[in-house]
A and B are shown apart, each in its own frame.
Chain A
Amino acid sequence: MCGTLSSVDQYLNLKLKEVTVNDGEKHPHMLSVSNCFIRGSVVRYVQLPADEVDTQLLQDATRNEAEKNVSR
Chain B
Amino acid sequence: MADDVEQSISATVKEPVDLIKLSLDERIYVKMKNDREITGRLHAYDQHLNMVLGEVEETITTIEIDEETYEEVYKTTKRSIPMLFVRGDGVILVSPPLRTTANI
A and B touch in the complex (CB under 8 A): yes
Listed in ascending order, the chain A residues whose CB lies under 8 Å from chain B are 12, 40-41, 43-50, 53, 55, 58-59, 61-63, 65-66, 69-70
B90 — which chain A residues lie within 8 A by C-beta?
44
Listed in ascending order, the chain B residues whose CB lies under 8 Å from chain A are 14, 17-18, 21, 24-25, 41, 43-47, 50, 52, 54, 81-87, 89-90
B85 — which chain A residues lie within 8 A by C-beta?
45-48
Interface centre among B41, B47, B54, B87 (most CB of A within 10 A): B87
Q: Are B43 and A58 in contact (CB under 8 A)?
A: yes
Query: Closest residue to B50 on the A side, CB-wise?
Result: A12
Q: Are A62 and B83 in contact (CB under 8 A)?
A: no
**How far does the alpha carbon of A50 sit from the alpha carbon of B80 in the complex, in Å?**
12
With A41-B89, A59-B25 known as contacts, the answer to whether A48 contacts B18 (CB < 8 A) is: no
- Which secondary structure characterizes the binding site on chain A? helix
Q: Are B44 and A59 in contact (CB under 8 A)?
A: yes
Write 28 A-B pairs (CB below 8 A) sorted by A numbering: A41-B89, A44-B87, A45-B81, A45-B85, A45-B86, A45-B87, A46-B85, A46-B87, A48-B52, A48-B82, A48-B84, A48-B85, A49-B82, A50-B82, A50-B83, A53-B43, A55-B54, A58-B44, A58-B52, A59-B25, A59-B43, A61-B44, A62-B43, A62-B46, A65-B46, A66-B17, A69-B17, A70-B18
A62 — which chain B residues lie within 8 A by C-beta?
21, 24, 43-46
B18 — which chain A residues lie within 8 A by C-beta?
66, 70
**How far does the alpha carbon of A12 sit from the alpha carbon of B52 in the complex, in Å?**
14
**How far does the alpha carbon of A66 sit from the alpha carbon of B52 in the complex, in Å?**
15
CB distance from A64 to the nearest CB of B (A): 11
Q: Are B54 and A50 in contact (CB under 8 A)?
A: yes
